Chains A and B, each alone.
Chain A
Amino acid sequence: MIRPVLKIKGLSKRHGRGCPSCYNLTGPQHDRNICPQCQSVVACHNITFELFPKEVLGIVGESGSGKSTVIKLLNFDLEPDEGELYVNHSNSEVENRIGLPLEGQNLFTLNSFRKRLLRNFMIGVVYQHPHLGLRLNVSSGGNIAERLLMADWRHVGDMRERSAELLAKTEVPVSRMDEPPRNFSGGMQQRVQIAKALSNEPMLLLLDEVTSGLDVSVQARVLDLIRSLQHELHVTTIVVSHDLGVIKMLTSRTIVMKNGHIVESGLTDQVLEDPQHPYSQLLVSSALT
């Protein structure tokens, strides 16, 4: 049996004061995620899933369903209110630095210094808006070098070599390596962001609506690129999107989210061909073909 590489258990995040009935009065059955008693926003509740090695998992749902919150929690950008995160992966370099074995450790309980180390060494993230993941005024090579510097690279020549290699792989002209991404088109900025996310050979890659801001032809090229990188690098990936086309093209397994809850999960083909939950049915039937 294959062991999961990542286990997420009972993940919850609430914005606002919170009251004892928040979780009971929100969710898909109530069709809301704002608690009527205390007005707190329940961004996600009781999210539990597993991720297997080299797997590509899709998270689909409407705006405000909590998809991005899950990504932010996994990237340690936000602190969860409840929940556990376990990783079945040993990386001796990271373990030496944080001074703890990773296995069996709830990663959410680590201190912020250790979380940052984990993020630097093991997680790559690509956001919808390039300005969230890139420093638009720093050269493209520098953006990639930043990730490498976080992982303690201290040789300029080596870093430039690695940056050039990654930019070539993501189809950004290497001759424009020393130009800031500010000068680039949206699609090109997104490709620099992907190069940056891949620079430290992450164990987990998080793609948050990567193609949502791009026009269709550029979208197709970026998706093509992601797919070919998946074939080449076999990184375990979570793809978040509201676009079923993207989910269909990239993922093998899918989770459907609504009002901060998981309403359905299964193989992508199964979910798209034979949706069980009313919301999934609505989602599939409203997709443009």
Chain B
Amino acid sequence: MKLGKWLQQQDIDTSCHYTFAFIDEGAKREIRRKTLKAIAIPGYQVPFGSRDMPIARGWGTGGIQLTLSLIGPDEILKVIDQGSDDSVNAVNIKAFISQVTGVRLTTKVQEATLIQTRHRIPEEPLRKGQILVLQVPIPEPLRIVEPSERETRRMHAEADYSRMWLHLYENIVAYKEIMIGSRYPVFVNDRYIMDPSPIPRWDNPQLHMSEGLYLFGAGREKRIYAIPPYTDVKSIEFRDYVFRVEDFGEATCCRCGSKNTFLNEMIDDRSGKRIYSCSDTAYCSNLLDQKREGYKP
């Protein structure tokens, strides 16, 4: 049963039983404090007391808690899941947040003041004042090389990243290339190695010297970290094996015809052929509208 419907049936006045934005003010204050700390130490994972949310941990609770602690009544919110405004996760989170805050929703990046996302960064660069909240499943970039949390914390503290480099070296020995598709680790402010959440490599360059603020929330793992505006963010690379983004060759989006976006590969049901479409649906639709209106840039 939907929360709203249930509340109606119970004849409960929601305005006095829920604080604005669902979580209590004390929790919000704690999350904001931890967020400020994260911004002060770019790339450092700040532990926080992850609260129970009406969805299961591991389903975006870190991102939701960040969003709810930051949101004000005048905010304009956009929520995307793997680039799409209309997928299940995005729609449900949007419905929940609008129910507990009543804020305006949008699909346009330019309009939004706060964007929550999972596994993608919008194609359009953030502008000054915008905040992008990312949902993070595994905040620890060193987890693939070291299972112990105590040890990974020591490695971060001493900037002992040789094992991460060794992991990449072994990749090159085995496959002649660094075989990391998503969650490609980055160096933030020449200090911490950070997990950018499972965004494709395509999105990594967007993190560098961005005008907007990036916040990362891991609800299950209870960590918050951040990339403040104008921070140096480098994808890790060797001098002779440099970082590169995905290469789609000659492929173009089957809807908007775009060549310079991150594309999803699909099989066309009718023809059985391989087709591509933009992963960022709002960007794609926007481009399509502009084309229909005969807009010439």
Using Cβ atoms and an 8 Å threshold, which residues of chain B touch A223?
none
For chain B, residues 139 to 159, give those with C-beta under 8 angstroms from any C-beta of chain A: 154, 157-159
The number of residue pairs between A and B whose CB atoms lie closer than 8 Å in the complex comes to 42
Q: Which range holds the interface residue count of chain A? A: 10 to 19
Using Cβ atoms and an 8 Å threshold, which residues of chain B touch A113?
157-159
Task: Choose among B158, B173, B238, B241 the residue that contacts A116 (Cβ–Cβ < 8 A).
Answer: B158
Q: B111 on the interface (CB 8 Å rule)?
A: no
Using Cβ atoms and an 8 Å threshold, which residues of chain B touch A146?
162-163, 166
For chain B, residues 156 to 173, give those with C-beta under 8 angstroms from any C-beta of chain A: 157-160, 162-163, 165-166, 169-170, 172-173
Task: Choose among A112, A116, A149, A150 the residue that contacts B169 (Cβ–Cβ < 8 A).
Answer: A149
Nearest CB in chain A: distance from B153 CB, A: 12
Docked Cα-Cα span, A178 to B163, in Å, equals: 17
Q: B240 on the interface (CB 8 Å rule)?
A: yes
Q: A154 on the interface (CB 8 Å rule)?
A: yes
**Main SS class of interface, B:** helix
Docked Cα-Cα span, A139 to B166, in Å, equals: 10
Are B172 and A156 within 8 A (Cβ)?
Answer: yes
0/1 interface trace, chain B 252-265, chain A, CB 8 Å (1 if under): 00000000000000
Using Cβ atoms and an 8 Å threshold, which residues of chain B touch A157?
240
0/1 interface trace, chain B 157-200, chain A, CB 8 Å (1 if under): 11110110110011011100000000000000000000000000
Are A142 and B238 within 8 A (Cβ)?
Answer: no
Are B158 and A155 within 8 A (Cβ)?
Answer: no
Task: Choose among B157, B158, B174, B239 the residue that contacts A154 (Cβ–Cβ < 8 A).
Answer: B239
Docked Cα-Cα span, A141 to B174, in Å, equals: 12
Are A178 and B239 within 8 A (Cβ)?
Answer: no
- How many B residues face the partner with a CB closer than 8 A? 18
Are B170 and A154 within 8 A (Cβ)?
Answer: no
Docked Cα-Cα span, A155 to B154, in Å, equals: 26
Q: Which of B163, B166, B174 has the most CB of A within 10 A?
A: B166
Task: Choose among B159, B165, B239 the residue that contacts A149 (Cβ–Cβ < 8 A).
Answer: B165
0/1 interface trace, chain A 155-192, chain B, CB 8 Å (1 if under): 11101000000000000000000100000000000000
Nearest CB in chain A: distance from B22 CB, A: 42
0/1 interface trace, chain A 7-20, chain B, CB 8 Å (1 if under): 00000000000000
Q: Which residue in chain B gives the minimum CB-CB distance to A145?
A: B169
Using Cβ atoms and an 8 Å threshold, which residues of chain A touch B174?
178
Nearest CB in chain A: distance from B164 CB, A: 9
Q: Which residue in chain A gives the minimum CB-CB distance to B236?
A: A154
